[in-house]
Structure 1
């Protein structure tokens, strides 16, 4: 009896000591890492994977068409009070079952430590760069072409054919371009030419006339303004469509409510505004999926028309494919 009481008391003491030790123990160290930057979406029979390459901070002063105080007020509605606005670099991978297609390649090594994550996120998503067979460039700005090559200007996508609209390639890749543009713009032309050079040398850079389909699954449309050959790419499967719009929008807080606001990077601001309005209106009326290079990752969602204004409806996180029969709770 005494032995049993002693055992119980001893066990109780050990339990109290253990509780005391656990209470005073420090929590594990903070991880300070983010999840891999990819997001999967089914569009009919096609698998679309958004890939995060990184970001840069853009000054609101780059936005033109509204007083600065109005732009700041629109940003403040989304709790953006910082001097710069974090702007994502998104690329998109489409697996049609026949082709593995990449739309744009991000900023690669051209921005610095906040970008260049595309390859690792592509691998995290279950693919390898050499599996990509087709690359479509919406335009040839550095944050869309630098990801074509590594820091030594060697091709990252060893088996891919790169496509760009002919007006875009003619503008940026013309050998005489450097003699006709201002000195401060020459670096951007050099980057476009250096990034595409190994693909050109290998015979794997091709152009097309907007409206043509470089491969059967895609429909292309010229939406000039941001650049002379800015192009959208639309894919349709089993009645569902997704359109990749490149840089038709840069700022979520401002350019949906005020599509008339341009950005300093636009080559022709009035044409860029007209292109944005036309693509937004059609995407809203047709209820197409939209994928944008600079909206907050994953940059994928729908556009709703609200009179002459628009609203961005981002994709909702969920299983890759919605179950065909989901019970309704009423």
Structure 2
């Protein structure tokens, strides 16, 4: 009997242990699922940099767009695949991940947003700009002006919400006149093939709520769009593309729009254009001029399509150039 009793106690102990062993993975599994979910959530896409004592530049990430290497116009002797591999740039079946960035300039008590991302104009991977501005602690309603480098959808569409209302309710929408005159022209839109009209429609939709509120205007080449920001002619990629030079005491920063689309290729070979350049020859000439000016002037650069945050410097590298990204640091 004593042996039977011991056997029953032993069996119960084994069963209890089995329950504990079987139960443990369920608890650990639940925690692992939570940890896994948290590990797959990226931090908000913004980065701040002080430009002197009185100017702050904040880079905002709108998301990635994927560009096939076929958007690069072939140049004899330039091997795109080798250049991408040399920079460890992943090329997937969707193409090369390419950032869409925008920049907020805080100076003289004003908030000026340069470029506005894509909203819903280029698919679901983009359209994160407003949420990232919110996450940074800035109310989009407090932005005074949205100044675009040019009127392409990935620079202008983000000025409106998906329902067509203004994303920046108290801001002016300001564009280079030469670019606005082209992309907002019904006559020009009807003169191009139907397949090319989407950019015209997107530009017109982006400015509509601002026009209706009397808060849309343009500026001439060489004029400052707002006080404290100089304009720099960058025509070629788009008819009136414009860069913006910001003074920060002993530092200067150029927000340069679409001077570079592929950092792995076009810094080494500025002669490479892209298929969506309005005037490829002029785009190449502009790129060479701007790269030379940036190096000569020792300017900081903020770029729409360089890897986020897209802020850094350009240095010479043999017959070409090299991108030196900003080092992460505290804003002082």
4+ aligned runs moved over 4 Å, structure 1: 24-27
C-alpha distance in structure 2 between counterparts of 1:125 and 1:117, whole Å: 12
1:29-40 aligned at under 5 Å gives the runs: 29-30=35-36, 31=38, 32-40=40-48
C-alpha distance in structure 1 between counterparts of 2:159 and 2:28, whole Å: 49
C-alpha distance in structure 2 between counterparts of 1:137 and 1:25, whole Å: 50
> What's the offset of the Cα at 1:82?
2.2
> What's the offset of the Cα at 1:68?
9.4
C-alpha distance in structure 1 between counterparts of 2:174 and 2:221, whole Å: 11
What is residue 320 of structure 1 aligned with on the other side? 331
> What's the offset of the Cα at 1:116?
0.6
> What's the offset of the Cα at 1:307?
4.4
What is residue 274 of structure 1 aligned with on the other side? 285
The superposition leaves residues 142-194 of structure 1 with CA deviations (integer Å, 9 ceiling, x where unpaired) of 00111011111111111111111111011011132322111111111001001
1:285 and 2:296 matched? yes
Q: Structure 1 regions of 5+ residues with no counterpart?
A: 1-16, 322-330
> What's the offset of the Cα at 1:221?
1.6
> What's the offset of the Cα at 1:111?
1.8
What is residue 14 of structure 2 aligned with on the other side? none
> What's the offset of the Cα at 1:94?
0.7
How many residues align? The count is: 301
CA contact (8 A) 1:289 1:301 kept: yes
What is residue 13 of structure 2 aligned with on the other side? none
Q: CA RMSD in A?
A: 1.8
What is residue 303 of structure 1 aligned with on the other side? 314
What is residue 5 of structure 1 aligned with on the other side? none
What is residue 82 of structure 1 aligned with on the other side? 92
What is residue 111 of structure 1 aligned with on the other side? 122
> What's the offset of the Cα at 1:46?
0.5
C-alpha distance in structure 2 between counterparts of 1:61 and 1:25, whole Å: 47
CA contact (8 A) 2:303 2:311 kept: yes
What is residue 225 of structure 1 aligned with on the other side? 236
CA contact (8 A) 1:249 1:276 kept: yes
What is residue 225 of structure 2 aligned with on the other side? 214
Deviates more, 1:209-218 or 1:37-46: 209-218
CA contact (8 A) 1:56 1:86 kept: yes
SS in 2 for 1:171: helix
> What's the offset of the Cα at 1:266?
0.2
What is residue 198 of structure 2 aligned with on the other side? 187
C-alpha distance in structure 1 between counterparts of 2:285 and 2:226, whole Å: 27
C-alpha distance in structure 1 between counterparts of 2:64 and 2:114, whole Å: 17
C-alpha distance in structure 1 between counterparts of 2:126 and 2:76, whole Å: 31
What is residue 244 of structure 1 aligned with on the other side? 255
Q: Go from structure 1 to structure 2 and tell me whether the alpha carbon gap of 1:112 and 1:307 turns closer, same or farther (over 3 Å shift).
A: same
> What's the offset of the Cα at 1:305?
1.8
What is residue 7 of structure 1 aligned with on the other side? none
The superposition leaves residues 87-122 of structure 1 with CA deviations (integer Å, 9 ceiling, x where unpaired) of 111000011042100000001111222111001100
CA contact (8 A) 2:61 2:102 kept: yes
Deviates more, 1:70-79 or 1:227-236: 70-79
> What's the offset of the Cα at 1:67?
5.4
TM-score (norm 2): 0.87
C-alpha distance in structure 2 between counterparts of 1:163 and 1:287, whole Å: 28
CA contact (8 A) 2:44 2:132 kept: yes
What is residue 262 of structure 1 aligned with on the other side? 273
